[in-house]
Structure 1
Amino acid sequence: MGRKAGTLYINPKKFGNIAKPCMKEMITFLNCMSLNQMNSEKCVRQKELLSACMDAQTNKKRKPWGSINYHLQRLNRGRK
């Protein structure tokens, strides 16, 4: 059930911290909520910024050509 020995493989978890697009907006919103005892009426500006960022991210689709490991396996098959 594991990978075959000698195949190419890239651990995608190492690159997981690269793409966190709305982290700054989310942290500012959560900080505002904690400072105002979970009162969202005082954090309207931060909530709007977070919503705008999240809406912008939903329009971006995943790349249709698959993962990097899929392509590494294809290249390895062609090499044999």
Structure 2
Amino acid sequence: MGRKAVTLYINPKKFGNIAKPCMEEMITFLNCLSLNQMNSENCVRQKDLLSACMDGLTNKKRKPWGSINYHLQRLNSGRK
């Protein structure tokens, strides 16, 4: 009952799993924590690498022109 049968729709969650930024840094940090019994003082280097990666991602802004589903709905309404 959520969507009309005629409308175009792309599931963005399906394509969101393609790129996983900072995954390698997070895995190395978690491995370091598990090896050192959750003592983060021994994992400062891995923590800094993860923080630098996460800070680099926040600078990338989302495109202001909307999602792909918004544009598909606009195209669909123009056809009628």
Q: State the TM-score, normalized to the length of structure 1.
A: 0.92
> Structure 2: how far apart are the matches of 1:24 and 1:66?
30
Partner of 1:79: 79
Percent of pairs identical after alignment?
A: 90
Cα distance in 1 between the residues matched to 2:12 and 2:74: 17
**Superposition deviation, residue 77 in structure 1:** 0.6
SS in 2 for 1:41: helix
* Range that drifts further, 52-61 or 16-25: 16-25
CA distance in 1, matches of 2:69, 2:61: 19
Q: CA deviation at 1:19?
A: 3.1
Query: For residues 28-48 of structure 1, what are the alpha-carbon distances to aligned partners after superposition, in whole Å with 9 as ceiling and x for unaligned?
Result: 101110111001111111101
Please identify runs of 4+ aligned residues in structure 1 that moved more than 2 A.
Answer: none
| Structure 2: 5+ residue stretches without partners | none
Cα offsets for 1:45-73 (capped at 9, x unmatched):
11010000001011111111111111100
- Partners in 2 of 1:68 and 1:59 — Cα distance? 22
| Structure 1 segments unaligned to the other structure (5+ residues) | none
TM-score, normalisation: structure 2: 0.92
